[in-house]
Structure 1
């Protein structure tokens, strides 16, 4: 592996693909948690929480 001039790390195409897959998996997991927390909140508070006066 060649060292870049700025001292950073050069990734192979396979390492870039693995990093991208890992980032997508983390994004999906985080998005799923957000949806689960939202659903639990709506179910615990009831549907009336959406019909509040602004």
Structure 2
């Protein structure tokens, strides 16, 4: 059986595509900020320790 694509499906497809692009952009921004923080040696996890410190 062949069904014609309904107009509602086309709208949902466009909306889902837009939401997917926004989600990927958000993930990219968070990933980029994490890489920059790690590269600068800043505290990423909020533990008060930076890279290279050893607690005793």
Q: Provide TM-score, normalisation by structure 2.
A: 0.61
Question: What is the aligned residue count?
Answer: 37
* CA RMSD across the alignment: 1.1
Q: Provide TM-score, normalisation by structure 1.
A: 0.63
Larger helix fraction of residues: 1
Structure 1 residue ranges without an equivalent (≥5): 1-11, 49-54
Q: In structure 2, what is the Cα distance between the partners aligned to 1:33 and 1:25?
A: 12
Task: Work out whether 1:43 is the aligned partner of 2:38.
Answer: yes
Structure 2 residue ranges without an equivalent (≥5): 1-6, 44-56
